[in-house]
Amino acid sequence: MPSRSIRLAVIPGDGIGPEVVAEGLKVLAAVGPASGLTFEQTHYDLGAARWHRTGETLPDAVLEELRGQDVILLGAVGDPSVPSGVLERGLLLRARFELDHYVNLRPVKLFPGVRTPLADVGPDDIDMIVVREGTEGPYTGVGGVLRKGTPHEIATQESVNTAFGVERVVRYAFEKAAARPRRKLTLVHKDNVLTFAGELYQRIVKQVGAEYPQVSVDYCHVDAATMFFVSQPQRFDVVVTDNLFGDIITDIGAAIAGGIGLAASGNVNPSGSAPSMFEPVHGSAPDIAGQGKADPTATIVSVAMLLDHVGAADAARRVERAVSDDLSERAGLGARSTAQIGDAIAKRVSG
Amino acid sequence: MPSRSIRLAVIPGDGIGPEVVAEGLKVLAAVGPASGLTFEQTHYDLGAARWHRTGETLPDAVLEELRGQDVILLGAVGDPSVPSGVLERGLLLRARFELDHYVNLRPVKLFPGVRTPLADVGPDDIDMIVVREGTEGPYTGVGGVLRKGTPHEIATQESVNTAFGVERVVRYAFEKAAARPRRKLTLVHKDNVLTFAGELYQRIVKQVGAEYPQVSVDYCHVDAATMFFVSQPQRFDVVVTDNLFGDIITDIGAAIAGGIGLAASGNVNPSGSAPSMFEPVHGSAPDIAGQGKADPTATIVSVAMLLDHVGAADAARRVERAVSDDLSERAGLGARSTAQIGDAIAKRVSG
Ligand SMILES: CC(C)[C@H](C(=O)O)[C@@H](O)C(=O)O
Ligand SMILES: CC(C)[C@H](C(=O)O)[C@@H](O)C(=O)O
């Protein structure tokens, strides 16, 4: 079988980003031959160092290059030496918005053998997928400051929600729900307070839901949802929610499913008009960077999602199984370095 | 000692509201003589029934009467027969905004003997107080809808934050932190995305913090905070945060501290220009209303907060001790009705 070639952009980023990305690429290389894919990699030195050197976060020219790639793997961005928000907004969110990653896909799944902070909860109890809107809501950057530094200062932030934006992400979530055994979709919002945006989400879920009679639909306020993540995670199968609520609940999701070291995500543009971007949910963790302490598992699971996205489902399953097998044996092993974990999973993948 | 008279407005509200409020009042009556206080009660029939009858949520005339009271005890509002948001915005939030409840005080404390869903966590690990801003942020209702029902619809929600509003709640939080043994304050926000509002909060925490050198200050993004509530609740002592983030994290707080049946709150106007309002964090739970199944503990703890607020600290401690003693023995008891729990705590209080 002639191997298909995929153009892969790699953005290792800051802190532990480069370390975990190295292990993700190691696993990708190990699975490569079996997937029938070869990956042509281009690495981009975006992040704190480049910002210090040139003031650039995601320059237009690089963005144009990224548009020509098939898919992107990102490590993490952010460094204490850069003011909060500069890299997040200028690089990460800019990529999500410009490449129209309107689905931020975040599985929340407890693998067998993984320790959850919840008592009396096992892998069957935590198996959901959060479909977070990725291109609007409170993340637009719309807002401003008036009378800065005076006692009369006002700072605003605007959540912008469009029928266009909500409909496409809700439709995606229904497709996901229809393909899963439980066929349940929960809208998470705060429609009793954010009445304008909440009503739009509710109405569109109802409209699109009419096309998916096999999917049962549920609603949960975001505050109650966070509680149920902890007390009854079994409630959830597919969750659809806005950009900010999705950000928040997927961190609790990570916490209950064994920690941020395992949480993977995809910033997906389902239309294919621009490359999708896969990344661990965790940040750059500068406190442990360069010490080989970071857990590369979240990045490796993100690589599995990337493989699925480019149509290599068999290879994706293979990586997932390797991760799952590795996790189920971890409890018995001592501490392993970032590279040791990557090696172990790569070995299982190729073996 | 001549007893001081307190004008108490009671808003039982909907669903389980009247049941739990009845128990709160029972405990108040039991502690009354010892507190040196007498409570002149006025009951207000606000809630779903009144809305159905008259279309009113919180009429101006009632609001004016409430202003003349010393303090308010509220049960819960909301009913499935009323469109989402009508009572929440028209009654609960209207009261918070009009009576300038700029501090929404929510203790998160695990009492001995109470079961938490977290493994390996005890009462020493969960003991914090969340100071949630109560009169601005995304709760202002500012926003709107354009081109409703068309494919070009836009719905916006605006978070409005003022130096005036942020400074007063931050100052209150520092006072609280300075009076607690750990003297630690954590600002929870999302300043890397909500840059305008986040920068305002950061700057004011820094400014006000300069007056409290004995308080150590910390910052945590809201998404990470939700994770730490589950994985490391010990991190938190006093948390100050905006209206929406406070809403969300205090529900996780309730979940880790034994459930929403125990979570109390105060909507406080520290200036005294209008009465403060105490209420359980839970909602009206129409599914169990009228069955004597609701746990009145959250309301009873709210009554303790109310007693503290009107200057009856000894009585407040007495109620808290009674609750704590009751909770520590609950595991061994069978299911008790709402009234049985109220009776038991009232008996301890008067005994
Ligand atoms: C770094 C930050 C901008 C980002 C977000 O808020 O989306 C992160 O928390 C995430 O969840 O990917
Ligand atoms: C009912 C609702 C408006 C309210 C809020 O969002 O503040 C509730 O969730 C709370 O926490 O008191």
Range of the domain at B210: 116-257
**Residues B137, B125 share a domain:** yes
DSSP bridge pairs for A43: A10
Q: Outline where DSSP puts E strands in chain B.
A: 4-13, 37-43, 71-76, 103-109, 127-133, 143-146, 154-162, 184-189, 216-221, 238-241, 264-268, 276-280
pLDDT for A32 equals 83
Q: Smallest CA–CA separation between A78 and chain B, in Å?
A: 10
The shortest C-alpha distance from B129 to chain A (Å) reads 17
Identified catalytic residue from B79, B237, B242, B247: B247
Q: Which of B78, B223, B255 sits opposite A230 (nearest CB)?
A: B255
Contact B248 A226 (CB under 8 A): yes
Q: How far apart are CA A68 and CA A63, in angstroms?
A: 9
Judge if B137 and B96 occupy the same domain. no
Residues A53 and A140 in one domain: no
Which token pair is B18? 């009247």
Q: Could you identify the atom of ligand 1 that is nearest to the CA of residue A251?
A: 11
* Count of structural domains within chain B: 2
Last residue of a domain, one of B257, B288, B318: B257
Residue that finishes a domain, picked among B223, B257, B291 = B257
Q: Is residue A124 part of a domain?
A: no
Q: Are residues A16 and A53 in the same domain?
A: yes
Domain boundary among A236, A257, A278: A257
Q: What does the pLDDT read at residue A340?
A: 97
Q: pTM for this structure?
A: 0.96
The three state secondary structure string of B189-213 is ECCCCCHHHHHHHHHHHHHHHCCCC
Contact at CB, B230 and A252, closer than 8 angstroms? yes
Instruction: Tell me if B35 sits within 8 A of B29, measured CB to CB.
Output: no
Q: If 0-12 CB within 10 Å is exposed, 13-18 middle and 19+ buried, where does residue A103 land?
A: buried
A251 in a structural domain? yes
Q: Residue B247 catalytic?
A: yes
Confidence at residue B2, expressed as pLDDT on a 0 to 100 scale: 61
CB contacts, 8 Å: A147 with chain B: 163
Please write the tens of the pLDDT for every residue from B279-307.
999 999 999 999 999 999 999 999 999 99
Is the sign of the CA dihedral A95, A156, B105, B342 positive or negative? negative
Which CATH number characterizes residue A96's domain?
3.40.718.10
Residues B124 and B240 in one domain: yes
pLDDT band of A332, cuts 50, 70, 90: confident
A250: nearest CA partner in chain B: B223
| Length in residues, chain A | 351
B190 catalytic? Reply is yes
Rounded to an integer, the average pLDDT of A263-277 is 98
**Statement to judge: residues B124 and B173 lie in one domain:** yes
Q: What is the pLDDT of residues A179-220, one digit of tens each?
A: 999 999 999 999 999 999 999 999 999 999 999 999 999 999
Q: Are A192 and B162 an interchain contact pair (Cβ–Cβ within 8 Å)?
A: no
pLDDT tens digits for B230-252? Answer: 999 999 999 999 999 999 999 99
On the question of pLDDT at A291 being above 60, the answer is yes
Q: Are residues A223 and A272 in the same domain?
A: no
Distance from Cα A273 to the centre of ligand 2, integer Å: 40
A73, part of any domain:
yes
Q: Are residues A141 and A188 in the same domain?
A: yes
Backbone angles phi, psi at A9, to 5 degrees: -90, 135
**Which residue type, as a one-letter code, is found at position A265?**
S
pLDDT, tens digit, 9 for 90 and up, residues A6-21? 999 999 999 999 999 9
Give the gap in angstroms from C-alpha A328 to the nearest C-alpha of chain B.
20
| Interface contact flag, A85 B196, Cβ < 8 Å | no
The single-letter code of the amino acid at A50 is R
Which residues on B lie below 8 Å from A262 (Cβ)? none
Q: Is residue B33 located within the same domain as residue B123?
A: no
Q: Is residue A46 part of a domain?
A: yes
The answer to whether residue A218 is catalytic is no
- Catalytic residue list contains A212: no
Give yes or no: residues B264 and B244 share one domain. no
Kindly state whether residue A278 falls inside one of the protein's structural domains: yes
Task: Take residue B86 and report the two structure tokens written for it.
Answer: 């009508």
DSSP 3-state of A240: strand
In-domain check, residue A122: no
A181 and A66 within one domain: no
Do B253 and B269 share a structural domain? no
Residues with CB under 6 A from ligand 2: A 192-193, 223; B 88, 92-93, 247, 281
Show the DSSP H helices in chain B as ranges: 17-35, 48-54, 60-67, 86-87, 94-98, 163-178, 195-209, 222-231, 243-256, 297-309, 313-330, 338-350
Please indicate whether residue A190 is annotated as part of the active site.
Answer: yes
